[in-house]
Amino acid sequence: MSLRDQLLKAGVADKKKVDKVNRDLKKQRKQEQAQRERQSVLEAREQQARDAAEAERRARIAEDRARIARLRELQARQRLVRDIVSTYRLVERSGPVSFWHRAPNGRTLLRLRLPESWADDLRVGRLAIVWTGPSTQVFDISVVPAHAATRIAAHEPARILFQNPGPPEVDDPAEALYGAFGEAAAATVPPPRPGAIYNPPRFREF
């Protein structure tokens, strides 16, 4: 027999009072259940926020480590290139021949005044032109043997400003202009291509 029935039978409480107590207890249980559910939802949201913050922290750490690793790798490559250039660069010599090559920014051409023997060696691929420095705005130009340029290209190909794989073809436009006209025709020919050996005044000299 339930507690309600026992109370009613004993005459301790009437039916209305017992029903009210039951309703109150039921209401209280529902409120407690709702409170537990709200607390559970709140705790779940707080845990999700903590998990998201932790994931973001770990992602930042991983990104920082990757950035540092890339920077160290870049610095190592730059040191290697500097070492190769300092070891093999030819002692700077000026000469009568204007030799055009790509600038480090890739958008303009620069001119070197070279001895004729250097210009010939560049044209046939025995020498190459490279750049060193922290940026395409702050740089040094060097002439190095082809084997040194090949080593540089293996690590930082963008450092190569001019390198022929071998002697130019007979119909190379730069060769035709040089052979047929020389520097005297500079004002009447199109803008030079890298490796051209003539001297239009529209490009700045390095």
Domain ranges for the chain, please list them: 1-88, 97-188
pLDDT for 18 = 65
149-188: b (≥16 Cβ within 10 Å) or e: beebbeebeebbbbbbeeebeeebebbebbeeeeeeebee
Query: Up-side HSE of residue 176: CA atoms within 13 Å toward CB?
Result: 8
pLDDT for 1 = 57
Note whether 111 and 100 are within 8 A (CB). yes
75-84: b (≥16 Cβ within 10 Å) or e: eeebeebeeb
91's tokens: 């002692």
pLDDT for 199 = 40
Instruction: Say if residue 186's pLDDT is above 50.
Output: no
Burial label for 45, CB within 10 Å (0-12, 13-18, 19+), is exposed
pLDDT tier for residue 191 given thresholds of 50, 70 and 90: very low
Asked which of 19-23, 55-59, 122-126, 188-192 is least confident by mean pLDDT, the reply is 188-192
pLDDT tier for residue 43 given thresholds of 50, 70 and 90: confident
Mean pLDDT of 66-87: 91
Spatial separation of the C-alpha atoms in residues 45 and 149, rounded to whole Å: 59
